[in-house]
Amino acid sequence: MHPIRQRVLIIEDEQDVTDLLARQLAKAEFEAVTAFNGEAGITAAREEKPALIILDLMLPKMSGLEVCRVLKSNDETRHIPIIMLTAKAEEVDRIVGLEFGADDYVTKPFSPREVVLRVQAILRRGDNRPAEKHLSAGDILIDLQRHDVRVAGRAVDLTAIEFKLLSTLLQRRGRVQARDRLLNDVWGYEAAIDTRTVDTHVRRLREKLGKRGDLIETVRGFGYRFRER
């Protein structure tokens, strides 16, 4: 049985980087399509309907951030996960934050293998899957409908916010979540409220999860990530 190849769009003007990524993606059974500037990338995103986009920050004329903003504000392309390639570590919080809304990022220089692993992780646990009733990670089991959390069979008493925070992090497992994005998605606030609110709740959530609290990793400088495994 042949699984359907998922299409990945690479938007990057450097031919050698594009080739490297396309080769590695092909090895992992993806179909790679390429665009060498932002405008062509946006058109390709609409026409080719890729499952995911790898987008370079440094592009001629239209920057990667601008392309990201256009894709994330368009109904046709908003749902497509975006991994940004960037050489600028200091841009990271803006890239994955509310401002641009990329789903993940990789800093240059990168290993193509690592990029493909990120692609696979995002597609496996993407937000675009139909709604699930249960979530699990090791011996943590979440019943989304009954709002019930168990760790190794033992019920854990969480507040509504802690429950939503845990299920959001777990649904985006392996992907860094910026504080302002968590505020928006979990609390429903615009980024005006203090992002330390997130830290306080994560701390309490970790305490309640006991040893499993370690699964929620702090990504210094901007957010949290539920550990891949």
What is the binding site for Ca ion (CB under 5 A)?
13-14, 56, 58
121-70-120 Cα angle (round to 5): 10
| DSSP alpha helix (H) spans, 4-91 | 15-27, 38-48, 64-72
Closest to Ca ion by CB, 35 vs 183, is 35
- Give me the amino acid identity at 171: Q
Q: State in angstroms the smallest separation of the CB of 172 from Ca ion.
A: 27
The burial class, CB within 10 Å (0-12 / 13-18 / 19+), for 77 is middle
User: Of 35 and 80, which has the nearer Cβ to Ca ion?
Assistant: 35
CA 18 to chain centre: 21
Q: For Ca ion, which is the closer residue by CB, 58 or 161?
A: 58
Nearer to Ca ion, 36 or 187 (CB): 36
CB of 34 to Ca ion, least distance (A): 12
Q: Cβ contacts of residue 215 below 8 Å, gap of 6+?
A: 137, 138, 140, 209, 226, 227
The least CB distance from residue 92 to Ca ion, in Å, is 17
CB of 85 to Ca ion, least distance (A): 8
The DSSP letter of residue 214 is: G
Nearer to Ca ion, 2 or 61 (CB): 61
